[in-house]
Amino acid sequence: MNPLSFRCTGCGNCCRNLRVAVTAADVARLSTATGKSPAALVEWLAPEAVDMTGEPSSFVEFGQGRRLMVLAQQAGACALLAADDRCSAYDARPLDCRAFPFDFDDADAATGRRRLRLLPHAGCDHAQDGKQDATALAALDALRWRELGDYQVRVHSWNRLARQRRRLGHRLGSVEAFLGYALSAR
């Protein structure tokens, strides 16, 4: 299948079947758009609850251990999924949601070109008559990686402080403190 022919049919299954890791920029956009507090928009998963192979820099150190910030769920689906199977914050949705199910492979060493592929999307009731724009998808992918990089810098800084606090026998910061810290950099 040509990835550019993918068209979402709005079945909502990806919002039920996947957990979406978010960055501070994603949470800030969602908080502004929905009026909800950042803490109300996210949940924190332990490393064993999610496969983040290749992205250990996204885990935040708390007293209860390392956690990954993801969109909150309600009744087994993303809390932003409305009854009509549409995102209630569509214009402000996280960049991972915007990019799904598209992914670019690393650049080929010889040509420097990147290949677009579709991520596995079990249960997706997609159509194959889409007209995706490869240039727009590449720009979205670049923005997504830039925001993730910025977020991971903040996480690294927080985690360094957490290790220092732990060595000194002090309590580690709370989720609310981290959200304030991560969002203040924006």
Q: What is the pLDDT of residues 115-158, one digit of tens each?
A: 777 777 767 878 888 888 888 988 999 999 999 999 999 999 99
What does the alpha-carbon distance between residue 62 and residue 161 come to, in Å, rounded to a whole number?
A: 11
Residues whose CB is less than 8 angstroms from the CB of residue 121 and which lie 6 or more positions away in sequence, other chains included? 13, 14, 100, 101
Token pair in block for residue 38: 């950042």
How is the beta sheet containing 59-62 ordered, strand by strand? 42-45, 65-71, 59-62
Q: What is the pLDDT of residues 25-82, one digit of tens each?
A: 999 999 999 999 999 999 999 988 887 676 789 999 999 999 999 999 999 999 999 9
Q: What type of residue is 138?
A: A
Is residue 61 within 8 Å of residue 170, measured between CB atoms?
Answer: no
Which of the four pLDDT bands, split at 50, 70 and 90, describes residue 2? Answer: confident
pTM: 0.88
